[in-house]
Copies of this chain bind each other. A is one copy, B any other.
Amino acid sequence: MLSEPASGYDLKKAFEQSIRHFWSAELSQIYPALARLEKDGRLESTAAPSGKGPPRKIYSRTESGLDELVRWLEGGVELKQERVDFLSQVFFLEAIPSDARLKYMQGLRDAFAARCDVLLNIEDGWRSQDPRYPDHLPDADFYPQLTLRLGLMKFRTLVEWADDCLSVMRARSERPPTATLGGRSNVEAF
């Protein structure tokens, strides 16, 4: 994020404008992180006057900082254990009454559709800058655009899934308990 020099406050805006779609950070996390990176020699700072308030502290990347970025990227894929709150809720949804379950799932569906719209608006903004979109993007935009594209595919999938869920849930609540084979639940062996 410091390919161009910037202050902590600037970085916060960068998070809110684009990066927030897959990562976020508060100022109270950013400031100590910048201080630590400077102490470790990954960054350097210079003070610059600001119109209002305290002077701005402009950070720039050092060689060592760039090295670390490259090591991180060349070290291969980071795939952490996921923690998906809403899937935890869906997993245990049987615990509430049928109408509340439908209401929950409809809420999910709407939330996903809203996120889809946000991303579509961003894409429209890009397209209006250059009608050849998504081709002929400047280098600086190419990889960010790939992340946007995934966001769109993902939320479309999510809406589709929620719609499927709603329809099987409705079908199930209409015709009550059907016989099941075997007996023991699959959950233990999931």
Task: Give A residues with C-beta under 8 Å from B.
Answer: 3, 14, 17-24, 66, 69-70, 72-74, 76-96, 100, 104, 107-108, 111, 122, 125-126, 129-130, 132, 136-150, 153-154, 157-158, 160-161, 164-165, 168, 172, 177-182, 185-190
Closest beta carbon of chain B to A12's beta carbon, Å: 14
Closest beta carbon of chain B to A1's beta carbon, Å: 8
Please, which residues of chain B bring their CB within 8 A of the CB of A74?
96, 100, 104
Please, which residues of chain B bring their CB within 8 A of the CB of A3?
95
CB <8 Å contact, A140 and B94: yes
Residue of B with least CB distance to A152: B161
CB <8 Å contact, B92 and A23: no
CB <8 Å contact, B70 and A95: yes
This chain: copies in complex: 2
CB <8 Å contact, B86 and A187: no
Which single member of B95, B111, B179 contacts A73 (CB below 8 Å)? B95
CB <8 Å contact, A172 and B142: yes
CB <8 Å contact, A81 and B20: yes
Which single member of B17, B66, B146, B187 contacts A141 (CB below 8 Å)? B187
